[in-house]
Amino acid sequence: MSRTDWEVVIGLEIHTQLNTQSKIFSGASTAFGAEPNAQACAVDIALPGVLPVLNKGAVERAIRFGLAIGATVAPKSIFARKNYFYPDLPKGYQISQYELPVVQGGQITLQVPDGKGGAYEKVVNLTRAHLEEDAGKSLHEDFHGMTGIDLNRAGTPLLEIVSEPDMRSSAEAVAYAKALHALVRWIDICDGNMQEGSFRCDANVSVRPRGQAEFGTRREIKNLNSFRFLQQAIDYEIQWQIDLIEDGGKVQQATVLFDADTGETRAMRSKEDAHDYRYFPDPDLLPLVISSEWIERVKGELPELPEALSARFQGEYGLSAYDATTLTASREVAQFYLDTVAAAGAANAKTCANWVMGELAGRLNKAELDIAASPVSAAQLAGLVQRIADNTISNAIAKKVFEALWNKEGESADAIIEAQGLKQVTDTGAIEAIIDEVLAANQKSVEEFRAGKEKAFNALVGQCMKASKGKANPAQVNELLKKKLG
């Protein structure tokens, strides 16, 4: 019997913490890392009589997001109360949006790595994005037989971004999450700090036999705070569901947690224990009305978006889709690249791309530095690229020059080339002199070459380059050597 070909269906709900100074319904600070409860005001701890007042900055960020994904920014949306009891939920309800969210629809185009070094394009549709407040934290350690409550996070503004179940593999889910992560930082609505919980993913996962129209029963994996965990959790969950079904079982709708230590998912609560949240419009808040003028103003302030910039990189600079996506992964990288091209000239855009994504990215990665803190500036890198382009230095020497720039051995590529005498030797006479010396010292190789051993030629080229300390123009060496041996 042939095994069923399973299709995976994934939808993501991503909570992004909006980077406002104060909370969504109070004036308390949102800064991370304060003493427990030092940033919880009367509204945050839900004293009797207090009332919420909506932070306009949070709304503005939601509008930015809506515009960035081509969604409808609802002219009128409603805040609702989601009722449940928990000690770190001071009011006994969370203010969220339910029936009428502020952002409706929209889509994101992403490049998904195909596992063979290439990538394919994928469009993920979004269902909605809504504003809500975060809860506080329950601290179970450090309190013997008790629970500590820290309400600093209570009331922090969140934008919950809900996708359609459009993803078909963990790779697509991760690519989507990464694209969203890049976008929210790009439009400066979220700092994207996953360790601090500024960007948290819930994944709804189900499987169905390929060709079946209905979705399988889904399970929701909660609170994945790294792309690696997202991938691991989904992969484990997919296999778990397939194994269960193939063993004759049925998936029950459930909320599950991912255990990073074991790499497994386990059920937290089933559908039967699911809360009835008793949503209803919050009578303390008026409907959120967003004027078209406001939307237009925000639109005018949006930076060029990664998708548009990526298209421009492909069209104007001839970059591949994958390279263009890589260079638009963050605004800082894109800006560095743009600055480099601006200084090096558009004709060198491809070389600039190779250096930004290759040597520079690798070196930054090794040093654990952001591109903003790069010891090599865009102007310096552009200077280097120009010397490659005009044949002043070879690629091999360029790497040396880059290293010297990194180590602050000189102000510019030119200064380093000059000071360290790295200028490529293109003078035919000088190269011929080197070749003559090499030929005289390597008679054995010359004879081998003449006997038909092609490899001997390469060895001679290598010797010439070595003798020139790498500075001889390799093409010229080749040509002149051939002539001499010919």
Partner 1 sequence: MIESSLKDIAAALRDKKVSAVELATESLSRIEAGNARINAFVTIDRDGALAAAKAADERLAAGTAGPLTGIPLAHKDVFCTEGVLTTCGSKMLSNFVSPYDAHVVSLLKAAGAVMVGKTNMDEFAMGSSNENSHFGPTRNPWNTDKVPGGSSGGSAAAVAARMVPIATGTDTGGSIRQPASLCGITGIKPTYGRVSRYGMIAYASSLDQGGAFGYSAEDCALLLSAMAGHDPRDSTSLEQGAEDFGRDLAKPLAGLRVGLPKEFFAEGMSDDVRAAVDAAIAEYRNLGATTVEVSLPNARLAIPAYYVIAPAEASSNLSRFDGVRYGHRAADYGDLNDMYCKSRAEGFGGEVKRRILVGTYVLSHGYYDAYYIKAQKLRRLIANDFAAAFQLCDVIAGPVSPTVAFGIGEKSDDPVQMYLSDIYTIAVNLAGLPGLSHPAGFGAGGLPVGLQLIGNYFGEARLLNAAHQYQQHTDWHTRAPAGV
| Min CB(278)–partner 1 separation in Å | 4
Can you spell out the DSSP letters for 86-122? Answer: -TT-TTSEEEEE-SS-SEE--EEEEEEE-SSS-EEEE
| Min CB(155)–partner 1 separation in Å | 14
- The number of residues in the chain equals 486
Nearer to partner 1, 52 or 192 (CB): 52
Could you give the C-alpha distances from 158 to 16, 62, 193, in angstroms and in order? 5, 9, 13
The C-alpha atoms of residue 275 and residue 270 are separated, in whole angstroms, by 10
**Tokens 């743009």 belong to which residue?**
338
Q: Which of 72, 76, 92, 437 binds partner 1 (CB under 8 A)?
A: 92
Residue 52 binds partner 1 (CB under 8 A): yes
Nearer to partner 1, 148 or 303 (CB): 148
Nearer to partner 1, 40 or 416 (CB): 40
Instruction: Let me know if 41 is exposed, middle or buried by CB neighbors in 10 A (0-12, 13-18, 19+).
Output: middle
Q: Which of 42, 267, 308, 419 binds partner 1 (CB under 8 A)?
A: 42
Residue 287 binds partner 1 (CB under 8 A): no
| Min CB(59)–partner 1 separation in Å | 13
Nearer to partner 1, 52 or 66 (CB): 52
Q: Which of 91, 128, 218, 387 binds partner 1 (CB under 8 A)?
A: 91
| Min CB(151)–partner 1 separation in Å | 8
Nearer to partner 1, 11 or 52 (CB): 52
Report the DSSP pairing between strands 264-270 and 79-83: unpaired
Nearer to partner 1, 5 or 272 (CB): 272
DSSP state of 30: -
Q: Which of 8, 14, 28, 45 binds partner 1 (CB under 8 A)?
A: 45
Do 138 and 147 form a contact (C-beta atoms < 8 A)? yes
Of 51-59, 194-202, 302-310, 416-424: span binding partner 1 (CB under 8 A)? 51-59
Can you spell out the DSSP letters for 418-484? Answer: HHTT-PPB--HHHHHHHHHHHHHHTHHHHHHHHTT-HHHHHHHHHHHHHHTTT-B-HHHHHHHHHHH
Residue 49 binds partner 1 (CB under 8 A): yes
Dihedral class, residue 450 (left if φ above 0, else alpha if ψ from -120 to 50, else beta): alpha
Contacts (CB under 8 A) with partner 1, residues 134-153:
147, 149
Q: Which of 34, 36, 57, 83 binds partner 1 (CB under 8 A)?
A: 83
Nearer to partner 1, 43 or 343 (CB): 43
Six-digit token string for 137:
């934290």
# residues contacting partner 1 (CB under 8 A):
29
Closest-CA residue to 170 (of 125, 126, 221, 210): 221
Q: Which of 117, 145, 283, 452 binds partner 1 (CB under 8 A)?
A: 283
Q: At what angle do helices 378-389 and 395-406 cross, to 10 degrees?
A: 160
Q: Which of 278, 450, 466, 469 binds partner 1 (CB under 8 A)?
A: 278
Of 90-98, 246-254, 297-305, 315-323: span binding partner 1 (CB under 8 A)? 90-98
Nearer to partner 1, 31 or 286 (CB): 286
Q: Which of 1, 2, 35, 85 binds partner 1 (CB under 8 A)?
A: 85
Nearer to partner 1, 98 or 449 (CB): 98
Q: Which of 3, 5, 35, 48 binds partner 1 (CB under 8 A)?
A: 48
- Residues whose CB falls within 8 Å of the CB of residue 420, separated by 6 or more in sequence, listed in order: 400, 404, 409
Contacts (CB under 8 A) with partner 1, residues 376-435:
none
- Residues whose CB falls within 8 Å of the CB of residue 479, separated by 6 or more in sequence, listed in order: none
Report the DSSP pairing between strands 219-224 and 254-259: parallel
Contacts (CB under 8 A) with partner 1, residues 149-178:
149
Contacts (CB under 8 A) with partner 1, residues 189-208:
none
The C-alpha atoms of residue 134 and residue 226 are separated, in whole angstroms, by 19
Contacts 24+ apart (CB under 8 A), 430-434: 431/464, 431/468, 431/472, 431/473, 431/476, 431/477, 431/480, 432/480, 432/484, 434/464, 434/467, 434/468, 434/472, 434/477
Q: Which of 11, 66, 90, 306 binds partner 1 (CB under 8 A)?
A: 90
Residue 24 binds partner 1 (CB under 8 A): no
- Interface residues toward partner 1, by CB under 8 A: 42, 45-54, 81, 83, 85, 87, 90-93, 147, 149, 276, 278-280, 283-286
